[in-house]
Amino acid sequence: MRRYTQFYIDGQWTAPITPRTAEVINPATEEVSGEISLGSPADVDKAVAAARRAFASYGETSVKDRLDLLEAIQAEYIRREAELGEAIMIEMGAPTALANGFHTLLGKGHLGTAIEVLRAFKFEEQRGPTMIRKEPIGVCGLITPWNWPMNQTCVKIFPALAAGCTMILKPPQLAPYSAQILAEMIHAAGVPAGVFNMIQGQGSVIGAALSKHEDVDMISFTGSEPVGVQITKDAADTVKRVGLELGGKSAWIVLDDASLPANVAGATAGMMGNSGQTCSAGSRLLVPASRMAEVKKIAAEAANGVTVGDPTGNFAMGPVVSKSQYNIIQQYIEKGAAEGAELVAGGPGRPEGLDKGWYVKPTVFVGTNDMVIAREEIFGPVLVIIGYDDLDHAVAIANDSHFGLGGYVSGEDVDTCRAVSRRMRTGAIWVNGGFDFNAPFGGYKRSGNGREWGELGFHEYLEVKSVVGW
């Protein structure tokens, strides 16, 4: 049992002003795995005051000082990386190979990238008679989700620290353990008092208090579209900057060529990664309508080949994060059937032999782009296959969405893939796979605004000052 009942405020672990706790449930067993404290607006006031005081000095620190801090954190991260992986496995049900692999690798990668970018970043640039300065925006409220807890947390904290900002982190209530360990690392690395603060609790309470607070200069939020809309409204009265990375319903366009079987299989298995709980997942698979019979067989085999089970075992997919999330996914699966979508793999209920834990069958439908299961973000292992007549039709289907976060194009002709990618209205596109920590990440349309990752992620935390006549 883990018991994390103190917050990190002004350089020390401190009890909440009004004691209140909540249980944390292990999604693989449905049993209580620990307890956390729930913060209040009074705790937010205390943390914001500490961050505001600290900004007066930390905002003026040298690049070397910030590099020294980030490198000290990096040493702590490497030392305790296995603890992070175990925490992620318990809190959100990621299989141990994934929790101790890509989950922790993402956090470490964003930290290393922040160090590399900071070494070369130009905070001043002379243009004619004007000096353009990039200065830290100030006190930041960072609100993070549970699905990739280290990725989404580290991609905010480390660029903010590198830019010279101070901050208050509000980790996800469903996955609080890894954030606790990360806070311990940052403390052990010697972060100055008040620069980094962390309050656990409910987003509707802590997130709202941060968004409305007049001494918070910026909110960076990753999560659902409705919450992002509410944060924007809450922040409007104080005209603070709001960075949003929201939902997605990303299209994966597979070209009509000899590589189609491998690409369909890869896209189907990829959708099931992290139990489908990825905002940029390719949840709409667009394939040539003329090859639909072949595609259905390949996708069914790929989905049925995804092993599901206890995260401590050798399985590809664990549970989804909570009973509530499980129920939502089941409702979407039932909705797909009611809409007339053809079920080619998976379906409602738990996989055979799993009677406890929030496990979902890897599910594949064939449907049309006007169905609810193709319009709304399900956030579970549910793939919708849609046929296209030609590439113009494929692009039209891909762009016919309120979202625009991720996109994928797979095929043998790279020039054609590139041409298709240029026409897709989405913030990040992967052509035949690939990965890059320096690639800006963020959305078009209702998928949000602003960009994270790499150098452009620094700009989220900087103001631009023009000094004319320098």
Structure confidence at residue 334 as a pLDDT band (50, 70, 90): very high
Instruction: Output the domain CATH number for residue 282.
Output: 3.40.309.10
Is residue 282 in a domain?
yes
Q: Establish if 442 belongs to a structural domain.
A: no
Residue-level pLDDT at 382:
98
Tokens of 244: 């949003």
Q: Do residues 296 and 196 both lie within one domain?
A: no
Q: Indicate whether 421 and 451 sit together in one domain.
A: no
Mean of the per-residue pLDDT values of the chain: 98
User: Considering the chain, what percentage of its residues have pLDDT values greater than 90?
Assistant: 100
> 379-411 in b/e burial notation, b at 16+ Cβ within 10 A?
bbbbbbbbbbeebeebbebbbebebbbbbbbbb
Residues 392 and 455 in one domain: no
Strands 218-222 and 139-143: parallel
31-83 pLDDT, tens digit per residue, is 999 999 999 999 999 999 999 999 999 999 999 999 999 999 999 999 999 99
Catalytic residue among 91, 225, 245, 377: 245
Q: The domain containing residue 160 runs over which residues?
A: 2-246+447-468
**CA–CA separation, 381 vs 270, rounded Å?**
10
The total number of residues shown for the chain amounts to 470
Q: Which residues pair with 167 in a beta bridge?
A: 140, 196
Rg (CA), the chain: 22
User: For 96-114, what is the mean pLDDT?
Assistant: 98
Annotation says 245 is catalytic: yes
pLDDT digits (tens, 9 = 90+) for 382-426: 999 999 999 999 999 999 999 999 999 999 999 999 999 999 999
Whether 258 and 242 share a structural domain = no
Residues 195 and 320 placed together within one structural domain of the fold: no
Residue 208 lies in a domain: yes
Q: Cα–Cα distance between 127 and 398 in angstroms, integer?
A: 41
